[in-house]
Chains A and B, each alone.
Chain A
């Protein structure tokens, strides 16, 4: 497995054996299940589809319910039926594909080890349409010396006749946040009971948000 899905619970800190403190983000990965397989014959590549989180069956469209019914993955709990809310594919080798069946639980502690470097993908907190000072850390304009109604503006966006255009990547106001963000090479600080994973430091997104923990792309272990 290359990764696992989870829900950000929040942040706290743990004490290490040498007395130092490590800030950690707690991520719940309980309930990761293999939902489907992508095979060489059918799809031209091999991958496992993981499902995570609950969704009430009465909120599910018929085609979606049909898919879960076919996989025999409609869960009956407290008189209510649930299917998986989030589905994500993870590329695996053909051997790994055969190792897990549809319906198999995937535990974080089987995928990762303590101290491993991982990448964590999340959706950053949305800030809406923001100005240039908040979005690009521009300095704005002086608060005095005759500045008139121009305190939080970005100033000039370029020259005149030459080059007669605005360069790419010019910082301007716009949507800030609510965007897929990956933090790379963060240490997995530990596991806790109930499928909880501790990641050193922060992770993008709000508490309760979906995150994907993956083996780091830039490995150097």
Chain B
């Protein structure tokens, strides 16, 4: 396993802020159109984090004109220009899939105090 983690180490980004399920994040994604590159933000609630070394991912859900949209991002992908935590949320589960069945007032998440 040692050799594997040495390879993954090269791809692991050190600039990832601490965040967890329930937090609201803004993911600035590099979008390539032809040879032009621009940044698009995807802001929403983190449903889950999947920890797997360099292959780690996280799922972000947002409501886009009334329709729930979920994107799974590779955490260490170079396609992510930057990642910011907009709001820390207090949830009891590590995977807050129950959010999918809720909308409006019911989908609110209490803020979490971070020191």
Residues of A within 8 A of B (CB): 9-10, 12-15, 17, 19, 21, 26, 28, 192-194, 196, 198
Contact = CB atoms under 8 A, between A and B. Distances in A.
A21 B7 contact: no
A21 B74 contact: yes
Contact of A12 (B8, B78, B79): B8
A111 to B, nearest CB: 19
B7 A192 contact: yes
Contacts, number: 41
Contact-residue bracket for chain B = 10 to 19
B8 to A, nearest CB: 6
B3 A194 contact: yes
Interface of B: 1, 3-4, 6-8, 11, 30, 53-55, 74, 76-79
Contact of A196 (B1, B3, B54): B3
Given A21-B74, A21-B77, A15 B3 contact: no
B55 A12 contact: yes
A9 B54 contact: no
Given A12-B54, A14-B11, A196-B7, 9 more contacts: A10-B1, A12-B53, A13-B54, A14-B7, A14-B54, A26-B4, A26-B7, A196-B3, A198-B7
